[in-house]
Amino acid sequence: MTNPWQFSLAGARLAGRSGILELMDDLGRALTTDPGMRMLGGGNPAHIPAADALWRRRMGELMADSDALERMLGNYDPPRGNPPFLKSLAGFLNRTCGWDITPAHLAITAGGQSAFFYLFNLLAGPMPDGGSRRILLPLVPEYIGYANQGLSPDLFVACQPEIEILPDHEFKYRVHFPSVEAALATGNIGAICVSRPTNPTGNVLTNAEITRLSELAKAAGIPLIIDNAYGLPFPGAVFLDDATPVFDDHIILTLSLSKLGLPGTRTGIVVARPEITEAMAAMTSVVGLANTNTGQQLVQPLLESGEIISLAREVIRPFYENRAREAGQWMREAFGDDSGWSLHRCEGSFFRWLRLTGLPIPTRELYQRLKARQVLVVPGENFFFGLDADWPHRTECLRLNCSGNPETVREALHIIADEVRNIRLHGTISAAPAV
| pLDDT attached to residue 23 | 55
Q: In this predicted structure, what is the pLDDT of residue 24?
A: 59
Domains present along the chain, CATH in parentheses: 9-51+314-425 (3.90.1150.10), 76-310 (3.40.640.10)
CA dihedral 6, 9, 10, 13 (to 10 degrees): 90
Q: Residue 379 contacts by C-beta under 8 Å, 6 or more apart in sequence?
A: 362, 363, 364, 366, 367, 397, 398
DSSP 55-72: HHHHHHHHHHSSSHHHHH
Q: Give the residue from 317, 298, 308, 404 showing the smallest Cα distance to 56.
A: 298
pTM equals 0.92
Instruction: Report how far residue 73's alpha carbon sits from residue 391's, in angstroms, rounded to the nearest whole number.
Output: 49
At 181 the three-state DSSP class reads: helix
Sign, CA torsion 391/393/395/399:
negative
Q: What is the pLDDT of residue 152?
A: 86
Alpha-carbon gap, residue 329 to 435, rounded angstroms: 15
Q: Which residues of the chain have pLDDT under 70?
A: 1-2, 17-34, 427-435
Long-range Cβ contact pairs of 76-80 (< 8 A, separation 24 or more): 76/289, 76/290, 77/108, 77/290, 77/291, 77/293, 77/296, 78/281, 78/290, 79/281, 79/282, 79/284, 79/285, 79/289, 79/290, 79/291, 80/106, 80/107, 80/108, 80/277, 80/278, 80/280, 80/281, 80/284
Amino acid at 411: E
Count CA atoms within 13 Å of residue 185 on its CB side: 6
Give the pairing of strands 251-256 and 224-227: parallel
340-349 per-position pLDDT tens digit: 999 999 999 9
Strands 375-376 and 38-39, by their bridges, are: parallel
Judged by phi (left if over 0) then psi (alpha if -120 to 50, else beta), residue 205 lies in beta
Q: List phi, psi (to 5°) of 119.
A: -65, -45
